[in-house]
Structure 1
C-alpha cells in the first residue's frame, strides 16, 4: 500500500502545473524540459517580452514561441486524474488515510487531495492552503453552481442570438432579393430607353445621309443643266455653282461619317472594377521612338517621331503581364495624348487572321485627330466613328475563355467597341502606343491607371 501511495504522489507531481497548481490543461513542454498549461505559459510570457524564461528554472528560451501541445503528457494527465479519482473514491468508503490510518478531515487546495491531521503536519503540505473537507466541498459546490448558472445564462442568450440571426438572415435575404429585383427592373427600363434612343438616332442618321444624297443629286442635276447652257449664261452662274459644290463636298465627311454614340450603362464600370489588374510596361518591347517612365506606368512619344507608312502600328509598347485565363480589366489615361492606340497582342490564333507586329495577331482601338475632330477606328473591324471630343480615360476588358475584348469610355460608363469570339490559344499581352504626336505639339504621356484610381466628371479636361 505504501508503494501505491508513493506512486500516486509521484504521478500527481508530474501532472500538476507549477504555475496554476492544477492538473495540466493542454500541456506544453519547453526547451529546458519543464511543462506547463499552455494558457499559463502564454500568460507568463507576456506578448512582446524581451526575456522568455522558464517560470520554474528561469532558463531562457531560444525563440519565445509557445510550443505545440505535448499529447503524451496530456494523455498521462487524463489517466492520472482518472486513477486518482478512483483511488480517492475507494478510500472515501474507508474515510481514512492509508498511510496514517486516520480519518480524512482536511483537503489540500494545491495538491487537490484529502488529508488526515497527521498528513497536513508533514513538510510536504506545510505551506499549502488546507481547509476542512466539508468547507472545501461547499466552496467548490458554490463555484460549480455559479459556473453552471453562468453557462445556463450564456446558453439561453446564445439560443436567443441564434433565433435572431435566423430571422436576420431571412429578412436580409428578402431585402436583398427585392433590391436586386428592383435593380433588374431599373436596368430593363434603362435598356428600353437606350434601344428607343438607338432607333431614333439611327433614323436621324439615315435621314441625314438621305438628305445629303438628295443634295448631291440636286447638285448633279444643276451641273448637268449648267453644262447645256449658253456660254454667257454659264459664266453668270458658274462661280455660285462652284461655291455651292465645294460646300456640299466639304460637308460630306461629317455627313457620312457616323458620330460615336454614347449609351451609359448604370453600374458598368463598378462591375468591371471587380476584375481590375495593375499593369506595368516592358521597356524592352519598344524602340527609340517611345520612352517608358521609371515606374513603368507611362509611355511617351519622342519629338522625333518618324512619319509612318502604316498608320495603325505606331511603335507599340507591350505590358510585362500576359494573360491566358480569367477576366481582366485595366484603364489607361489618355488625356494628354490626342492620338493613341490600345489593344492586345498574341503570337498565335486557332484560325488565320490578318497579321502584323512581327507576324503576330493584334486587336486594336485607335484614336486619330483630323481637322479638329477625333475619330475612333478598330483593327480588325469596321469602326470608324467621329467623337464629340477626346476621351480622358479608356477601359479595356479581356475575357480569355470567351474570346472577348471590349473598350469602354470610363467617364461616360459606356461601351465603345467589342471584339468577340477571338480564338485565343496562347497568352496575350496588352499593347499601347502614345502617338503619333500632332505636328507642332509637345507629346504627353499615356499612363496606366493604378487599380485603386477612379475617374469622375470633375477629373475631365478637354484636349
Structure 2
C-alpha cells in the first residue's frame, strides 16, 4: 500500500514541478500552448510574441498570463500529501526491486540500498554504511564547506572594496612621471592608462562574479541542509563537487602586484644626474662588513636574523660618505644576489621641545624587499606600498631631488618606475643608506654593490647572471 502511494505521489510531483527551476510551482501560470511555469521563471516584461521554454511554440499574447488557480491548489495539495506520506513511513522509502526499506548507503556508487541490494554481487565489494551515518557525514562536509565559502565570500568582498578605493593612486604617480619626460610620450601614456583601466575593470568583474558564485553556493547548501535525508543524499554529490570547484578556482590575487610601466628614454635622462657614491665604514652597524674598495657591503655573523627591528635607527645599515643638501642625484645598486634588502636615505631633523632646547633626531626613508613563502614583496616607509613582485629586481636605481622632496626608485632592467615615496620636506643634508638583508636562514650572505658610473644593465646582461 505504501509503495503504491509513493508511486502515485511521484506521478503527482511530475505534474506540479516547474520544468525550468525543477521545484514545486510557485504562482504557476499557463501559456497558450498549455505548458505551465512559475511566474518568476518567465520573462517579467509583456511581449506580443512569446516562445515557450518547453516546446518552443510561439504564442501571441497581449499581456502576462494570469495565475492558474487550479494548478496552484493542486501544488499545495501535493506538498501536503508528500509531507503526510513521509511522516507515515518515518521518512523511509523502499527498494523498487526487493520492496525492502532503503537503510544503507553505497559510498562507491553514491546511492541508497536495501539489505538485499548490499548483498548482491554488483554491490557486495563496495563500502556501505547506514543511511543515518551517511547523512551525518554529508552534513558535516556541507557545514565545513559552508564555513569555507563564508570566509572566502567575506575576503572577496573586502578585495572588491579595496579595488574600488585603491591604497595607491598608480595613475597619478605614473602620470606625474610621464609629465616630467618628453611631451612625445603622451600618446604612449594614454594607451598605458587605458590598458591599466581595463585591467582594473576585469579584476573587479572577476571578484564580483566570484562573490556571486560563493553566495549562490551558500544558499544552495543551506537549502540542502534542510532537505529530508534521502533527498539530501541525492543532491549532495553535485553540491560538494560544485563547492570544491568554486574553492579551487577562487581568486588568489589577495596581494596586488607592483605595476611595470617601461618608459622609453627614462634611464638616459636619469643617468645625466649619476653620482659616484662610496660607503662610510664608520657609519656601518657592527653586524655589517664593508669591502675595502668601499663599493659593497654584506651581512656579517652578528646579524640576528630572527630579532625584530624598528623602521629607522634599529635597522642594520651603512651610510654613504656623501651628503646632499641641494640639486638632483641618481645612483644604482646591484642587488642581484640578495633575496632581501633595504635602500633609502638617512637625515636628521631639529625638534624644538621647549624654548632654548633643540633636539636632533634621525629618520630614514626607504624601499624594502622582503622574501615570503609565495614570492618577493616591496614595502615602503613612509607610504602604503606592500605589493608583490612578479620577478626579483637585479638592479635598483634611486633618484633624489632635494628641493622638491622627491625620492623615487626604478627598475633598471625594465626601465620602469617602481615607486615614488610621498613628498618629503627635507630640513637637513641627506645621506644614501644601504642594508643588505636580513639574510635568509641557512644561506650565505651576499654583497650589495654600488654600481660604477659607467656600468649599464640590459636584458642580455641579466640573462647571463
TM normalised by structure 2 equals 0.52
Q: Is the 8 A contact 1:402 1:420 kept in 2?
A: no
CA positional deviation for 1:202: 2.1
Match of 1:269, SS state, is helix
CA distance in 2, matches of 1:417, 1:282: 27
CA distance in 2, matches of 1:351, 1:205: 49
Q: Is the 8 A contact 2:380 2:421 kept in 1?
A: no
Q: Which runs of 5+ in 2 are unaligned?
A: 1-180, 354-359
CA positional deviation for 1:455: 0.9
Q: Is the 8 A contact 2:340 2:439 kept in 1?
A: yes
| Equivalent in the alignment of 1:188 | 186
CA positional deviation for 1:341: 0.8
Indicate how the Cα distance of structure 1 residues 426 and 440 shifts in structure 2: closer, same or farther if over 3 A, else same. same
| Equivalent in the alignment of 1:79 | none
| Equivalent in the alignment of 2:307 | 308
CA distance in 2, matches of 1:296, 1:222: 67
CA positional deviation for 1:378: 1.0
| Equivalent in the alignment of 1:90 | none
Q: Is the 8 A contact 1:205 1:258 kept in 2?
A: no
CA positional deviation for 1:213: 3.5
Q: Is the 8 A contact 1:349 1:361 kept in 2?
A: no
| Equivalent in the alignment of 1:270 | 268
Map 1:171-320 onto structure 2 (within 5 A).
Answer: 184=182, 186-218=184-216, 220-221=218-219, 224=222, 228=226, 233=232, 247=248, 254-302=252-300, 305-306=303-304, 307-310=306-309, 314-320=315-321
Match of 1:332, SS state, is strand
Q: Is the 8 A contact 1:349 1:424 kept in 2?
A: no
Map 1:15-414 onto structure 2 (within 5 A).
Answer: 184=182, 186-218=184-216, 220-221=218-219, 224=222, 228=226, 233=232, 247=248, 254-302=252-300, 305-306=303-304, 307-310=306-309, 314-348=315-349, 359-414=361-416
Worse-superposed segment, 430-439 or 201-210: 201-210
Match of 2:197, SS state, is helix
| Equivalent in the alignment of 1:422 | 424
Indicate how the Cα distance of structure 1 residues 315 and 189 shifts in structure 2: closer, same or farther if over 3 A, else same. same
| Equivalent in the alignment of 1:460 | 462
CA distance in 2, matches of 1:285, 1:240: 61
CA distance in 1, matches of 2:203, 2:432: 34
Q: Which runs of 5+ in 1 are unaligned?
A: 1-182, 353-357
CA distance in 2, matches of 1:327, 1:435: 27
| Equivalent in the alignment of 1:4 | none
CA positional deviation for 1:447: 0.7
CA positional deviation for 1:420: 4.1
Indicate how the Cα distance of structure 1 residues 427 and 213 shifts in structure 2: closer, same or farther if over 3 A, else same. farther
Structure showing greater radius of gyration is 1
TM normalised by structure 1 equals 0.52
CA distance in 2, matches of 1:281, 1:435: 16
Give the alignment's Cα RMSD to 1 decimal. Answer: 3.3
Match of 2:277, SS state, is coil
Match of 1:300, SS state, is strand
> How many aligned positions are there?
273
CA deviations 1:164-209 (Å, max 9, x no partner) are xxxxxxxxxxxxxxxxxxx956422222222222212222332343
Worse-superposed segment, 376-385 or 304-313: 304-313
CA distance in 2, matches of 1:309, 1:271: 39
CA positional deviation for 1:367: 0.9
Indicate how the Cα distance of structure 1 residues 222 and 275 shifts in structure 2: closer, same or farther if over 3 A, else same. farther
CA positional deviation for 1:443: 2.0
CA distance in 2, matches of 1:226, 1:311: 52
| Equivalent in the alignment of 2:17 | none
Indicate how the Cα distance of structure 1 residues 214 and 302 shifts in structure 2: closer, same or farther if over 3 A, else same. farther
Worse-superposed segment, 286-295 or 239-248: 239-248
